[in-house]
Every structure is written in C-alpha cells, then in structure tokens.
Amino acid sequence: MKTEFSALVKRARAGDKEAFGALYGELYPDLYRFAYCALRSAEDAEDAVAEAVTDAFYGIGKLRNEDAFRSWIFRITAVKCKKMQAAYYHVAHESIQDLPLAAEAPQTEEFLDLQAAFATLAPDERLILSLSVFGGYNSADIASMICVNRNTVRSKHSRSLQKMRELMKEDVS
C-alpha cells in the first residue's frame, strides 16, 4: 500500500492529474475531519481543504520526498485552518456534534460528552489535538506544521487533554 501511495505521488509530481486525484480521494476524509475539528464549520472545513488541495496541486512539483506527501498536505491544510481561525474567530460556528462523520460513531452519552469537551477547547488546542489524533503526528511534526516550538505543542497538547479529562469527570459527577 505504501509503495502504491508513493508511486501515485511520484506520478502526480510528474504532472499526472489522475494520480493527484487518486491521492486527493484517499486523503480527503482525513483532511476534512481534521479541518472540521479545527474550524467547527462544515463550510469552512470544505473551503480550507479545497484551498489546501489547490495549493498542493500547483506546488507538488516542489515536493522532494514522496513519503512526505501526507504530512506536507496536512501542513498546508493546517496553515489554511490557522488563517481561517484568525479571520473568522468572532464568527459563531456550528456544533461539533454536526460533524457528518460523527454519525458513524455510537451516540452514547460518553461520546456526546467527549464532543462537548472537545468543542470547549481553544482553536489552537483543537488544531493540535486534531493533528495528533486524526493525522497521527508527533509534537515535532506538529510544531513544524503550525510553526511553533515543539515544547509549546507538547504543553498545549497536555493541557488540552487535561481540560477534557476534567470536563469529562464533571459530567460523570
């Protein structure tokens, strides 16, 4: 699978639009989930992913390592999300419970409490947790993607998880 993905990236770098389309199709669900969790708006998430994919399409020739494609496109998406967060911070967003992909998960009370706890986090905290959980990236990768110090990522990640734990405990009480 990894070699097939790398082969698609190599073809896309050479200008194969169908190969890029296949890469997009494979990564879109993860990119969308990440953007939605960061922005809490379906429309904003779609816009961020569309802008990121457009930039990636036009910039893929500059990608040096086929194995870095996934982190590269997530980094582009993270930058788009961060810009949108700054621009639309004051706009009221949809509830995280409206995430279309969340309907696949069991709608237990614990799941709904988890969604509510996640929704209380600051945008940068959601961004870091989303990259960690959905993207599977470590603190060094995340720091590189969002242009902050690795220790800042670790502390925000830790504090965010602690906030969510405390909120979850309150809901149980």
pLDDT per position as a tens digit, 146-168: 777 889 989 999 998 888 888 87
In the predicted structure, residue 105 carries a pLDDT above the cut 90: no
Q: Coil, strand, or helix at residue 160?
A: helix
pLDDT score of 66: 86
Asked if 41 contacts 93 with a C-beta cutoff of 8 angstroms, the reply is: yes
State pLDDT tens for residues 82-92: 888 776 544 43
Which pLDDT does position 93 carry in this prediction? 39
Global pTM reads 0.58
Flag whether pLDDT at 36 surpasses 80: yes
1-94 with 105-173: one CATH topology? no
How many Cβ atoms are within 10 Å of 86's Cβ, its own excluded?
9
CATH, range 105-173: 1.10.10.10
Q: Which CATH architecture has domain 1-94?
A: Orthogonal Bundle (1.10)
- The full set of domain ranges for the chain reads 1-94, 105-173
pLDDT attached to residue 94: 42
pLDDT value, residue 169: 78
How big is the CA angle at 121 (ends 115 and 122), to the nearest 5 degrees? 145
Average pLDDT over residues 72-94: 73
Residue 104 has pLDDT above 60, yes or no: no
What pLDDT does residue 95 have? 42
Name the maximum alpha-carbon separation found in the chain. 58
pLDDT confidence band for 53 (50 / 70 / 90): very high
